[in-house]
Structure 1
Amino acid sequence: MRILIRTSKWAIWARRLGSVAVPLVVISVLLHRLRLMTSDLFLVAAAVAGAMALLAVLVSMVALARLWQTGDRGWGKALWGLAFGLICLLPYAWYGALALRYPAVTDIATTDRGPMPLVFEPGTAAMPPPKLLSRSEMALVFPNVETRTYPLGLAQTFVLAHRLVDENGWDIKLERDPATGAAVGQINAQIVTLPGWREEVVIRVTGDLANSAVDMRSASLNALHDFGSNGQRIEAFLSALDDAVTTLLRDNPNANRPVEAEPESATDVEAPAE
């Protein structure tokens, strides 16, 4: 007599739900990064994908418990559903931890934002009002977000800042080079985060031939929370700029001295009339 062992329907549904959650997460992120999906739709898609992943985990747990009691088949399906669900929930857990660690802010700057306007692109003109931090909150959460001053000329500092922007792979949207005679150097560049959110940085360099000051702004476009990315970006960039300036001055002790006009040679000086 042949005994048939049935496959648990809970296990079947666990794997189905997990298999649906994975492409929902991946496709929604790809469409958002490629700008084929608006941010509003992305939030809805991300919520649906997260709910599907959570449901897959819950159904998998029920399936495993029932399999242990009944002896039915379907352990592999239940475990696959559990694995798919947990993998999909990892990004939600990560960003949830960041949301608990960092306050809900979308715009960070070292100084007044007036001289550092953003370059809006089509679709970003209707940005929600920025969420800002007070000066005391800024000092507590991002203590290194401060204006930098260097004993280095404006043009040289701008070159170092531009080099760091290129190394980071940021997409430059606006550039004002002080080498062309401008009294201020400025770079506006855009960054795309992993989930596809657009963020913009503004780097402003002021000074003269011997000294310079660097201010920076980083803001999220059409986002409700930056999860600390803007403040971390400014701190990392300015720290790298500190190192670059220090290295330049160490290797070139005369780099901070303004170039003086060479004196005329004796042959170029007209002889006095007799």
Structure 2
Amino acid sequence: AVAALVSIIIVRFGFLEVRPALATFFGALACAGLSILVGLAAFVAIWQNGSRGMSRILLALVIDAVILAYPAYLGLQYRKLPPIHDITTDPIDPPRFEALARLRSGEGTNSAVYAGLYSAEQQRIAYPDIETVELEVPPQRAYEVTLALVAKRKWLVIDERPPQLPRRIGRIEAVARTPIMGFREDISIRVTPDGEESRVDIRSSSRYFESDLGSNAARVSKLIEDINSAVDNAKPAQKKPQTPAKLQAKTVKK
């Protein structure tokens, strides 16, 4: 358990490069698996001989099972989800990584260039609801809403440019991290005008590994949902037209 915890800290805080750090983590998992085998053998021996120590063996087995539960879940996700790492609302013209490109040029990192048609087709099959966000607000307002949501998520903003004349295109580049291991995943957001309204395109791409186990799609889907909700909630409530009160007919006393 201690080895697994230490390996997670090493990976999350970057004390080693990603691949050596992962080797440490998988080594800890192997130790946990070996510990389960030894524990089961000890359990059988104690059961047959009636020796003491059953409670400690059971506690060790529970701890090892908890350690291996999350990697087992990831293994199931790996089998179920397509092996892609680059998700975008616009596969034809995805938002580019400009400020982030230099961080994706080292050995073992995924390219800043979009993953291509194979990735787009796999995304379409697995995540058909990920599409461009169309908003009935001006680009500046769409940009402000999106930037506020990025800040709320505590993503590290690397570059942000509000929409300005003449093209009125806004851009946000940021870095998110996976919840447990802290792997870096890069995000590029583009806000473009559509007449007096606006369109928001999002791209989220893992910096390492060929498969993201669904993390980028989940991030993009949640951001799309929150952008739509924020814009809808900010719309002024439409007042229902009041119908004029009916005039009561006057009666003449006779």
Tell me the TM-score normalized by structure 1.
0.77
CA contact (8 A) 1:186 1:204 kept: yes
Q: In terms of mean alpha carbon deviation, does 87-96 or 211-220 score higher?
A: 87-96
CA contact (8 A) 1:197 1:223 kept: no
Displacement of 1:128 after TM fit? 3.6
Change (3 A) 1:180 1:131: closer
- Which amino acid letter does the alignment assign opposite residue 125 of structure 1? G
CA contact (8 A) 1:30 1:196 kept: no
Show CA shifts across 1:147-167 (max 9, x none).
122221110110111111111
Name the Cα RMSD after superposition. 2.3
Are 1:140 and 2:121 counterparts? no
Match of 2:145 in 1: 160
CA contact (8 A) 2:11 2:22 kept: no
CA distance in 2, matches of 1:192, 1:238: 18
Are 1:37 and 2:22 counterparts? no
Displacement of 1:71 after TM fit? 1.4
CA contact (8 A) 1:154 1:212 kept: yes
CA distance in 2, matches of 1:245, 1:42: 42
CA distance in 2, matches of 1:120, 1:96: 30
- Gaps of at least 5 residues in structure 2 are 240-254
Change (3 A) 1:131 1:84: farther
* Residue in structure 2 matching 1:175, options 149, 155, 160: 160
Change (3 A) 1:219 1:208: same
Bigger CA radius of gyration:
1
- Which amino acid letter does the alignment assign opposite residue 221 of structure 1? R
Match of 2:244 in 1: none
CA distance in 1, matches of 2:209, 2:182: 11
CA distance in 2, matches of 1:122, 1:197: 13
- Identity over aligned pairs, percent: 26
Displacement of 1:31 after TM fit? 1.5
- Which amino acid letter does the alignment assign opposite residue 96 of structure 2? M
CA contact (8 A) 1:113 1:217 kept: no
Match of 1:247 in 2: 233
Displacement of 1:122 after TM fit? 5.1
CA distance in 2, matches of 1:30, 1:139: 35
Displacement of 1:74 after TM fit? 2.0
Match of 2:76 in 1: 97
**Aligned length in residues:** 232
Tell me the TM-score normalized by structure 2.
0.83
CA contact (8 A) 1:33 1:195 kept: yes
* Residue in structure 2 matching 1:82, options 54, 57, 61: 61
Change (3 A) 1:123 1:249: closer
Change (3 A) 1:201 1:122: closer
CA distance in 2, matches of 1:252, 1:202: 34
Match of 1:222 in 2: 208
Displacement of 1:33 after TM fit? 1.3
Displacement of 1:180 after TM fit? 8.0
Secondary structure of the 2:209 match is: coil
CA contact (8 A) 1:176 1:186 kept: yes
Show CA shifts across 1:110-148 (max 9, x none).
114564225045575332457565444323211221112
Secondary structure of the 2:181 match is: coil
**Where in structure 2 are the equivalents of 1:1-274 lying within 5 Å?**
22-111=1-90, 112=92, 115-117=95-97, 119-120=100-101, 125-126=106-107, 127-128=109-110, 133-178=118-163, 183-193=168-178, 194-207=180-193, 210-251=196-237
Secondary structure of the 2:131 match is: coil
CA distance in 2, matches of 1:47, 1:76: 27
Displacement of 1:223 after TM fit? 2.3
Q: In terms of mean alpha carbon deviation, does 198-207 or 80-89 score higher?
A: 80-89
CA distance in 2, matches of 1:34, 1:240: 29
CA contact (8 A) 2:94 2:203 kept: no
